Amino acid sequence: MARLVINENKKESTIEPEIYGHFSEHLGRCIYEGIYVGENPDIPNVNGMRSDVVQALKELKVPMLRWPGGCFADEYHWKDGIGPKEKRKKMVNTHWGGVVEDNSFGTHEYMELCRQIGCKTYINGNLGSGTVQEMSEWIEYMTFRGISPMADMRKENGHEEPWKVDFFGVGNENWGCGGNMTPEHYANEYRRYQTYVRNYDAENPVKKVCCGANVSDYFWTERVLKTAFDHGEHCHGFMDYLSLHYYVHPEGWDIKGSATDFDEETWYKTLNKALYMERLIERHGAIMDQYDPDKKIGMCVDEWGSWYTCEPGTNPGFLYQQNTVRDALIAGITLNIFNKHSDRVKIAALAQMVNVLQAVLLTEGNNMIKTPTYHVMHMYRHHQGAELLQSAVTGVDEIGIGEWKVPRITESVSMDKEGVITITMNNLSIEASEDVDISFTNSGYEQIEATIVSHVDMHAKNTFDNPEEVCEKAFMDYTVSEEGIRVKMPKNSVVAFRVKK
């Protein structure tokens, strides 16, 4: 019998809403078709944004959206994506399928999308192949209120008021697709480029994201901080976040593995790899602690999720994959880890929002379905902005096959401003349900409700013919007593409780 002990009196750290962020890249059918349909009369839209997709994202309470890449960002020249659409330059999307990018979705369209969703903006600048001037002018174009060449150009293009840029990435994966730089070289470039990311609006400073490591490249983290960490001699806001990218590939980077056709051992292997996120956060975090013991720089895991072999018959450059109950568990596990480390992790972005990798939404023509991952993010949305509570689970043995061991249960707990407690738990077993006894420091309850995402078949997924095979349902398999809540968690399940005391 597992035991989850919650101390409502011990608040550990604030779970920043942006931990529940998303990522939209000019990749495959993410932007075009998945989000933006221009003037297509067959798909209901507002100013080109699909109404079904925007509605689903609003229900998810998407707090922040990263754009335009990814690897695409370091080849993107923002001036190609403004002004009359018929005059916009076309380019080849060299990273993603070699398709023609007509730039019909640019800065104005991205800002309109964020307005419709009601989320914060996170723009990733081009350091790899762009100039300092280009980056500097993009910031001026977006955020300068007065008279200036770029602000005037924005006004000519139909937007009088400046926008708010909440977060700005100074390059992406500059150790790889963003220029193949050494950490020292990038860090010096970071110092230079970020200087010209000006704060034109003192009340709404642009928060800067420095490019961090790929997976376990601790050398990168150490060297970048050694060269670019601001020891206080410069103005505030030199580096607000350091990024980290980690994807789960069941069989490794080269082979990856199928999204839907996997055996029991691969289930555990995949979840074991998802759990590796915790070690990465701890080890990179320990290096950050040496420079920044007060945790002023947030860790920004702005690319995470499962990355499988793309769906058979689809363009390999488009990274389209299905999403099963296994992905629901990957999301549940990872979000619990982020919550537990919310003293350091301040931003995260699941890759990618629609039709690419571990997407929350899939589209086909004018149809849209929600994936199992969508439903988990919907259940977890209550953690956004809440205080992480001290909690620990005991009496949980390790399960798995061969070397691929995982704990049976993972969890995290938070309390929101109204005092409502959210408990999110995962049963990672594909064999057995698990009884969990939840106890609290203080007694008494006013209201308890719970929902679940689960399926007896670990391969279960949603399709356009059967869109609700795996979805969030009311969960009733628990009893309440003076001592606490006794829960029977089905195998392959993600459960969320909302407890008002």
By CB under 6 A, tell whether 70 contacts ligand AHR: yes
Map tokens 């899939």 to a residue.
Answer: 362
Residue carrying the six token digits 């945790």: 295
Q: Least separation, in Å, of the C-beta of 252 and ligand AHR?
A: 15
CB of 178 to ligand AHR, least distance (A): 8
Among 8, 173, 292, 327, binds ligand AHR (CB under 6 A): 173
Q: Is the dihedral of CA 37, 43, 45, 50 positive or negative?
A: negative
Q: How far is the CB of 181 from ligand AHR (least distance, A)?
A: 14
**Residues 6+ away with beta carbon under 8 Å from 384:** 15, 17, 19, 20, 61, 63
Of the candidate spans 65-73, 416-424, 447-455, 489-497, the one that interacts with ligand AHR by CB under 6 A turns out to be 65-73
Q: Which of the stretches 68-76, 284-292, 326-334, 402-410 binds ligand AHR when contact is defined by CB under 6 A?
A: 68-76
**Does 69 engage in binding with ligand AHR (CB under 6 A)?**
yes
Q: Which is nearer to ligand AHR, 173 or 240 (CB)?
A: 173
Contact 394, 5 (CB under 8 A): yes
The reply to whether 203 belongs to the active site is no
Return the closest-CA partner of residue 209 out of 247, 246, 238, 176: 238
Alpha helices in 18-145 (DSSP H): 51-59, 107-117, 132-143
Rule CB under 6 A: choose which of 57, 224, 242, 351 binds ligand AHR.
351
State yes or no: residue 189 binds ligand AHR (CB under 6 A): no
Query: Phi, psi at residue 278, to the nearest 5°?
Result: -65, -45
* 200 Cβ neighbours under 8 A, 6+ residues apart: 139, 140, 143, 144, 145, 162
Minimum distance of ligand AHR from residue 184's CB (angstroms): 21
12 is an active site residue: no
> How many Å apart are CA 116 and CA 26, to the nearest integer?
19
Give least dist CB 447 to ligand AHR, A. 40
Q: Residue 302, interface with ligand AHR (CB under 6 A)?
A: no
In this structure, what token pair is assigned to residue 54?
């925007």
- Selected catalytic residue, list 12, 18, 101, 303: 303
What is the size of the binding site for ligand AHR (CB under 6 A)?
A: 9
Instruction: Report, in Å, the least distance between residue 357 CB and ligand AHR.
Output: 6
Catalytic residue among 173, 189, 411, 434: 173
CA–CA distances in Å: residue 466 to residues 342, 354, 369, 370, 462: 36, 18, 9, 11, 6
303 binds ligand AHR (CB under 6 A): yes
Task: Report H helices in 293-437.
Answer: 325-340, 372-380
Residue 99 or 448: the one with the smaller Cβ distance to ligand AHR is 99
Cβ nearer to ligand AHR, comparing 135 with 396: 135
As given in the structure block, the two tokens for residue 101 are 């990018």
Residue whose CB is less far from ligand AHR, 25 or 137: 25
Binding mask 12-41 for ligand AHR (x = CB under 6 A): -------------x----------------
**Which residue's beta carbon is nearest to the bound ligand AHR?**
70
3-state class (DSSP) for residue 380: helix
Tokens of 364: 């086909």
For residue 172, state whether it binds ligand AHR (rule: CB under 6 A): yes
- Cα separation, 95 vs 104, whole angstroms: 18
The catalytic residues are 173, 303
Q: Point out which residues bind ligand AHR (CB under 6 A).
A: 25, 69-71, 172-173, 303, 351, 357
